[in-house]
Structure 1
């Protein structure tokens, strides 16, 4: 048995020993064993971001004992790139390995929170995949969302009151972002096609995109009450952000009517019929005639007349109020029925005279009251030594012609401010009164007033006190009023206020010459109020108060009887506003507990006191908006001193309801306005009610006519002691017709202007029947100057208007003067058309219509081509900033500059033709093949023009002589060196000025430089010619220009020109470099260049006013005296047509010659035009 086991062990051992050799032989025998390759990335996962590169290492191992030939393919997501080769052939020896660096550029628009994979794929020679290896790239989420409106303001179309606004959302992040847009129109704006005041929209914004969302906004058709700005609140919400903002809309009309108060019109007439439906009396007819005429300077004349129930001829004088007055410089004179207050009111028919300047005012009045037969004389003096102080005094004398009444009242007062924080006002009055009262004839009375207010930090204080003794000849007689109100602003949301009032009214009852009774009624209250802000639209207030009542000397009180009570109150209320602030609601509650301290009948046996302790409740509600107002009260219990006295006597309580709504607004455009009101009172205890209904309709007719009807209906109902109901009612109606006459004043005149913006198809600046208007053109018109130097009624300074569907803008009754017009299209109606003119100046001197064209501009483009010589030694030549000019057949020019490559683009309006030329700055070294081109578009939108310069090839002879005549084809060059200085003509200080050398043939600048700001020196070297002009320009100075007639014959010429520039100031004058032929006013072509220089200077100094002065020689002055003025007019016309109109014209003939008239050369110098500054 043991041998058998040994035999088995030996066999197994041999099998194990030779098994690998057997397997090896099997592989080579069939040649189909799999490839044993291993591959892996060093980093299995990588985090990166857009437009970054990532790096990883790929390791490939050959685990077999044979050589492997493989192909490596790197696959990346779309938009990514492999830096290097995406495909590589790899040869691996048995049991060998290789390490490959891999760098990949991440795409620009990868999305966040997504794992991308880079795949390394190994294939054999047959294309079979051997191994795939993955590297995962994680892109973190990036949130970069920006939201903005296109523009900050949109304008409503004046016809349909709608417009569009756009929101741009830029998602620079790498994830799609959901966005919610919520718009709140505050009940005045509606959004979208559904016209919703609260509009919401959900949108999704893809990554790396800009999205524009356009919405339509419309203004609701309701009364706007002059409001022209409307805010659209927006809440734009993303996943993690909320943006709150307000976008604004503006409503602008296409028509402006300058409102001039009827008080400033020369004539107004109104006819009034009073009580026209009264069955018992005839209607009363009344007429009102008034007006004011404004004269030059500050003088004016005004008048007023109104009759009252005139039935006889004498009534038109007696039962009237009329006066005539005028202001002439510092004086004011008035005769007729005048009314002035000199601590007491002096009213009557007489005269009034006043003188006033900046420091003093003196007034004198004398009149007679026609009804009371009272003569009045008064005077006052007011001195204002400083802006914060004044002293005043006066006297008022009154005497009756019917009784022995006589009053002399003197007063003295002052007002001043201390440290800009404390303001004081004081007045003391002394009154000597003669009047027989209870055996006393002479009386000495006093009055006074004190006011103080201050702002110190968070504390504001107001103190007012006013007093008049019992017989003081003033409306304050017998009164003492004290009001104290300090307010402490604790913080922006809390305010604490203290109120103290003290009112006493002591008025005697006078019968004949006896004082029969002295009645004293007073109340004193102290209240503390805390007001706090609950929210931006809700204010609340509360506080305690104590009020004391005191009443003596009532006619039904026993002698020395008095009523006194004290009231302890709690007041709670609030003020609520809507979101737009156009309406407010104020509820208020007052609850009080009252105690009677003294009762006038308590010692009377026949009457016993009623309730001594009681309470009351008072509720009020006030609602107010732009057209509707409601006031409502409800009182339960005795609240006033009269009610408390009656309740204590009769034990009869009080319950009263009051309701007073009113309505006032235009009900039809701006033509018909309705005012309606109701006053309703109901005493629930006494069972009585009172109602008053008022209605008034105004009808505003064209040409300043106005008609109104007023109706008042009154109904009163009460229950008598027998419980019978008694009703009383009445009706009152009046009507009026008024006409305001818009006559012109000597001081200022008013005119109507209409502007028409239109599409100028043919470029002739005249609107044809087929040329439509341009709507939604925003016009800003502002006044620059006016001949009226004093106050102008209804003064118009500037306005913004929006053209209507016909492209029209209308302005009615604007004062004469010079206005600046700035306009821009803000809608899409202009299309490809643009402004033909930029800012314009409008002279308003008559009713006129101004047509303003919009033109479709064509494109002229091209470049500068330099044809260089092969032997050129000029080096690099700068072809930038070379001016290209296009001139149309009417002389209008449009210019542009070349860029660094010599390319240019010029846009010019459509017209018949243009001449396009170039400023030849290369003339010294290049010949220009063609200086100008005639361009006719003939329906095309673009035209190409290239300016070709050929470099000159020449030899230069610096010593010309007669011996060189045979070398006639050799160019002779003469060079001029011009130098000098530029200085101020008044101070001789150096000036930094631009010095230009101009070729008068081509009107182009040959060369240009600046003079030294330190010395004023300049130096120019140029090729000599006979057609040069020297031009020198400096800010704030008149320009200088002169022709350079050098007559150079030598090769080199040195010329010195020192120039003195005159400052632009009032009285300064410049002689234009313009010469006229004998008896001629025509402007030569070189004169246009001179005037263009003047235009540029005047526009840079637009606030000056100039006088164009024409001159003639002695012979012209004899034969044609008007020629000097005609020359001034032709120059002025050119300036006005080119945008400067602040001009006056004057001809001097030969009164101011600058040269002798003995020679033709001297007379030519005298035929000239000069410019002088007359105002600045």
Structure 2
């Protein structure tokens, strides 16, 4: 206790001396540069040298009070300081200060705050000057401010990537949250799994239902979290549909990554508050990876062969060949052909009529040959031919085309077309496209020339106006008389986004007269679509479509019939976590030959997609009343009959099952044309289907099955179809398919024919109940090839990696050496994991030099990969990853303490001191035990062994750190020690048994 009092007095004297020395040295400068005003109270004026001071952690509050005595006599006073409770003033409250006449005295103020107050706070320190009688003769104050530092960090034990073992679907992970601020910090912690493909669990694998947590950390404190994630649908059959186009059985060739977000924020969060998100990736690596499709310059080709009706009289065979080649970043090649064969004898029509196409595209030009389309409005411009486009610069582009329906270079009767186009992009707001072309039809002796212009103008970043104008000239012979007609096409469109992007509108109208194109019809078409965001989650959408056509005989110009259709729908939609809802109203007017009505009613749509459960549901219904055209006029039928109509559609898809249903009543039915013939029956139709995909335990077999039932009441028709299809996937990439289609149908057409019809036509005698059945067997074949390009060199090779425990040290796997699985092999950014046999493969790596890294996901007890940090791929081959037994590096931390200073016989705790071995960019770490002993295993090489000196205070120092060592193959171990010395202090011995004068 006596030692503590002596130390406290020494500390106070030192602080006081420092303040007085600093104030006196700066006094002359203060007098000349100080702008802080004095506060006068009677005969005394006072001020503080620092009116405002920011208080930081561990800081002592020190200030200087300057007192001026304006009186002719000396004034004595004491200092009374007011400050927050639990703070301590270093000073003698009873000390009497004396200010001489016309003189200045300096009084130091020193306060020890025991703790910081809340952040962003001001504390007023009031100082009163009191005379010997206790009366106040002066006062002043200064302000202490505290600034809250809000900062925390999320530290991961390893890094943000966690790898699953080969047979693993769960992974432990840990992290800590550190408070780097200067005050207590409340933190709200939550987790987000974006695709719902992970389950967060505790260390006992119990799922965590409520993962949100609020906790408080003191400054510098941290909290650790240990969790486990469980990955769903790893190696699970029939949870999700597989793609029958690229499925590969018995091979782990897919890299699967699952994401977990760790979110941390203050409990009461605003836009300005600190938020942190840390992304954790849980990765399932393949044992085999394909870097490129093929290891040589090639043309990719997909072969699809389909044989239908194998046991029928009319079998059909189709061979589809197609491919896409990315030549470089901006250049690609597309090719396609299809051969169809349905004869039981040879004919060259298989090749003569086969469609084919080859297209070359880069950033400047496009060249297409084969089955192309000139994209002209008003004339037929498709067939076999050639099409070339070129981009002259950013503003100008154009192209030409030629097509012939009978063949590319054939002169037989057909339709030949040729023409071109030009496009001007004046700027991002103004553009113009012009097309011109001519079509010659040798079948009907018609020649048609057309030209169109399409300007587009954008303005104010939210409005767009487009126009279209077309003109054509048609010439043909009618009864040996030349006829010439001219027609036109006009149209416009407008789209906009207004009212702060709440209203989105588009409108289009187009009209052509009867002589435009081939002179067969006059058309007008109008479409409108408007969307308005009503509130958060709700929006309204109005769509309208109007079409009207007048059909003429293009040879005689006689009017045949017209068609008119109006459809409009107003819907309101809202998206929620429980699904999307869309109620609405609709109106439809249809005027077709033998099928005309007015229909209006209500509709409703609902849909929900649950990614976690792989569940999709959709439901749509609409219902209303239809008024046939013959009843529209009251004079024709005063009863004004209206027929109820309804449609119901539903879809349910769960995992590999899919169920669809559709029911139509009245006008919506596909047989509604019969309504006018039989007013006593309301047309109804029903269609139900169920589909399933099943992956067998032998995962080379996949079965896809469909069952379809349909019914309509007008023809009393029932049909049932079963469509199974079995696939076999070979390990070499072939897909074989065998399917059988069985249809059973019953129908009765007697309800739509009366007895007079049957009597007049003997062919209608069997319109009563009939039954039919049909069975078809089909076969299909699929394979992806890479056709080698002749005379080209190989550009890639396959690298096979083999990891093993290298017992004899020859770096080659021998028969008696043990394979090592779960080794991550990283070649640049491509990663694979070794399987049970210690093997992993990367196919078709381009010939080059790559960075090589290996990571063991399991503790190998001192075995390390003995490989270089790079690898050269120049041919197919095996690349061995030998693991060698590391050399034991061990040692102790020895502390040399001053013997006289040891007052406590308890030994120092030397645990958890970090010892690091550094080799180039690799760092190996270990921790000491309570006695300061450490050990770890290191592979061969040269290292620097380092002790973390950050744990030492000023009393201790390391005599030698950063020790170099070299580990060789023949060594069993290396001993390293660190020597720590306690700094010596001067000790004065005093004998209290002697008298003072002795």
For Structure 1 versus Structure 2, the TM-score category normalised by the shorter chain is: 0.5 to 0.7
After superposition, the Cα gap between the structure-2 partners of 1:301 and 1:194, relative to the gap in structure 1 and judged at 3 Å, is closer
SS at match of 1:502: strand
RMSD (Å) for aligned C-alpha atoms: 5.7
Partner of 1:776: 822
Partner of 2:506: 463
Partner of 1:532: 574
Please, which of 567, 589, 597 is the counterpart of residue 549 of structure 1? 589
Partner of 1:163: 170
Partner of 2:381: 346
SS at match of 2:355: strand
Matched, 1:378 2:407: no
- C-alpha deviation, 1:271, in angstroms: 7.2
Task: Verify the 8 A CA contact 2:301 2:787 in the aligned structure 1.
Answer: no
Partner of 2:55: none
Partner of 1:399: 440
Matched, 1:707 2:707: no
Please, which of 842, 847, 869 is the counterpart of residue 811 of structure 1? 842
For residues 650-674 of structure 1, the C-alpha deviation after alignment (integer angstroms, 9 at most, x for no partner) is 2421332222333457657875454
- C-alpha deviation, 1:511, in angstroms: 8.2
Distance (whole Å) between structure 1 residues aligned to residue 771 and residue 356 of structure 2 = 41
- C-alpha deviation, 1:416, in angstroms: 5.6
**Highest CA radius of gyration, 1 or 2?**
1
For residues 342-396 of structure 1, the C-alpha deviation after alignment (integer angstroms, 9 at most, x for no partner) is 3355222333333335534332221211297111112122334446664322123
For residues 1135-1172 of structure 1, the C-alpha deviation after alignment (integer angstroms, 9 at most, x for no partner) is xxxxxxxxxxxxxxxxxxxxxxxxxxxxxxxxxxxxxx
After superposition, the Cα gap between the structure-2 partners of 1:318 and 1:382, relative to the gap in structure 1 and judged at 3 Å, is same
Partner of 1:656: 685
For residues 727-764 of structure 1, the C-alpha deviation after alignment (integer angstroms, 9 at most, x for no partner) is 23334443233443324555983432333444455666
SS at match of 2:312: coil
TM alignment of 1:317-328, pairs within 5 A? 317-323=351-357, 326=360
Please, which of 664, 667, 677 is the counterpart of residue 635 of structure 1? 664
Distance (whole Å) between structure 1 residues aligned to residue 811 and residue 160 of structure 2 = 31
- C-alpha deviation, 1:192, in angstroms: 9.7
After superposition, the Cα gap between the structure-2 partners of 1:312 and 1:632, relative to the gap in structure 1 and judged at 3 Å, is same
Matched, 1:749 2:795: yes
Distance (whole Å) between structure 1 residues aligned to residue 298 and residue 969 of structure 2 = 56
- C-alpha deviation, 1:646, in angstroms: 2.5
Partner of 2:772: 728
Distance (whole Å) between structure 2 residues aligned to residue 314 and residue 489 of structure 1 = 61
- C-alpha deviation, 1:300, in angstroms: 6.8
Distance (whole Å) between structure 1 residues aligned to residue 518 and residue 834 of structure 2 = 58
Please, which of 602, 607, 611 is the counterpart of residue 570 of structure 1? 602
TM alignment of 1:894-905, pairs within 5 A? none
Task: Verify the 8 A CA contact 1:468 1:477 in the aligned structure 2.
Answer: no
Please, which of 317, 338, 344 is the counterpart of residue 306 of structure 1? 338
Task: Verify the 8 A CA contact 1:462 1:485 in the aligned structure 2.
Answer: yes
Task: Verify the 8 A CA contact 2:192 2:260 in the aligned structure 1.
Answer: no
SS at match of 1:341: coil
Task: Verify the 8 A CA contact 2:339 2:350 in the aligned structure 1.
Answer: yes
Q: Which has the higher contact order (CA 8 A, sep 6+)?
A: 2
Distance (whole Å) between structure 2 residues aligned to residue 366 and residue 676 of structure 1 = 45
Partner of 1:518: 561
Partner of 2:646: 617
Distance (whole Å) between structure 1 residues aligned to residue 632 and residue 918 of structure 2 = 103
- C-alpha deviation, 1:408, in angstroms: 1.6
SS at match of 2:780: strand
For residues 536-591 of structure 1, the C-alpha deviation after alignment (integer angstroms, 9 at most, x for no partner) is 23232323x24031315x2x59xxxxx44241x22233223336273221223323
TM alignment of 1:1090-1105, pairs within 5 A? none
Distance (whole Å) between structure 1 residues aligned to residue 527 and residue 825 of structure 2 = 52
- C-alpha deviation, 1:678, in angstroms: 4.2
Task: Verify the 8 A CA contact 2:304 2:321 in the aligned structure 1.
Answer: no
Deviates more, 1:626-635 or 1:252-261: 252-261
Please, which of 289, 294, 297 is the counterpart of residue 256 of structure 1? 289
SS at match of 1:805: coil
Task: Verify the 8 A CA contact 1:611 1:647 in the aligned structure 2.
Answer: no
For residues 764-807 of structure 1, the C-alpha deviation after alignment (integer angstroms, 9 at most, x for no partner) is 6554545544433445544xxxxxxxxxxxxxxx5444333344
Matched, 1:584 2:616: yes
- C-alpha deviation, 1:444, in angstroms: 0.7
After superposition, the Cα gap between the structure-2 partners of 1:249 and 1:853, relative to the gap in structure 1 and judged at 3 Å, is same
Task: Verify the 8 A CA contact 2:664 2:686 in the aligned structure 1.
Answer: yes
TM-score (norm 1): 0.51
Partner of 1:484: 528
- C-alpha deviation, 1:518, in angstroms: 1.9
* Alignment gaps of 5+ in structure 1: 1-145, 173-180, 202-207, 236-243, 558-562, 783-797, 866-883, 898-902, 919-927, 948-1176
* Alignment gaps of 5+ in structure 2: 1-152, 180-190, 212-220, 243-253, 264-276, 408-412, 752-766, 895-915, 926-931, 947-959, 980-998
Matched, 1:368 2:411: no
- C-alpha deviation, 1:147, in angstroms: 13
SS at match of 2:667: coil
For residues 1077-1099 of structure 1, the C-alpha deviation after alignment (integer angstroms, 9 at most, x for no partner) is xxxxxxxxxxxxxxxxxxxxxxx
Task: Verify the 8 A CA contact 2:722 2:743 in the aligned structure 1.
Answer: yes
Task: Verify the 8 A CA contact 1:183 1:199 in the aligned structure 2.
Answer: no
- C-alpha deviation, 1:601, in angstroms: 9.0
Distance (whole Å) between structure 2 residues aligned to residue 749 and residue 662 of structure 1 = 44
Please, which of 469, 474, 485 is the counterpart of residue 433 of structure 1? 474
Distance (whole Å) between structure 1 residues aligned to residue 599 and residue 973 of structure 2 = 92
- C-alpha deviation, 1:320, in angstroms: 1.8
SS at match of 1:652: coil
After superposition, the Cα gap between the structure-2 partners of 1:578 and 1:509, relative to the gap in structure 1 and judged at 3 Å, is same
Distance (whole Å) between structure 2 residues aligned to residue 526 and residue 886 of structure 1 = 72
Please, which of 551, 556, 559 is the counterpart of residue 508 of structure 1? 551
Partner of 2:122: none
After superposition, the Cα gap between the structure-2 partners of 1:905 and 1:312, relative to the gap in structure 1 and judged at 3 Å, is same
Task: Verify the 8 A CA contact 2:301 2:786 in the aligned structure 1.
Answer: no
After superposition, the Cα gap between the structure-2 partners of 1:706 and 1:526, relative to the gap in structure 1 and judged at 3 Å, is closer
Distance (whole Å) between structure 2 residues aligned to residue 823 and residue 423 of structure 1 = 57
Distance (whole Å) between structure 1 residues aligned to residue 422 and residue 709 of structure 2 = 48
Distance (whole Å) between structure 2 residues aligned to residue 293 and residue 198 of structure 1 = 49
Task: Verify the 8 A CA contact 2:306 2:781 in the aligned structure 1.
Answer: no
- C-alpha deviation, 1:522, in angstroms: 0.3
Distance (whole Å) between structure 1 residues aligned to residue 810 and residue 222 of structure 2 = 46
For residues 825-866 of structure 1, the C-alpha deviation after alignment (integer angstroms, 9 at most, x for no partner) is 3x324443455568x44444433433344555435578999x
For residues 957-989 of structure 1, the C-alpha deviation after alignment (integer angstroms, 9 at most, x for no partner) is xxxxxxxxxxxxxxxxxxxxxxxxxxxxxxxxx
SS at match of 1:638: helix
For residues 889-941 of structure 1, the C-alpha deviation after alignment (integer angstroms, 9 at most, x for no partner) is xxx999999xxxxx999978445x979999xxxxxxxxx9xx99986675634
Distance (whole Å) between structure 2 residues aligned to residue 598 and residue 893 of structure 1 = 88
SS at match of 1:349: strand
- C-alpha deviation, 1:631, in angstroms: 2.6
Distance (whole Å) between structure 1 residues aligned to residue 885 and residue 466 of structure 2 = 67
TM-score (norm 2): 0.59
Partner of 1:719: 748
Distance (whole Å) between structure 2 residues aligned to residue 200 and residue 292 of structure 1 = 49
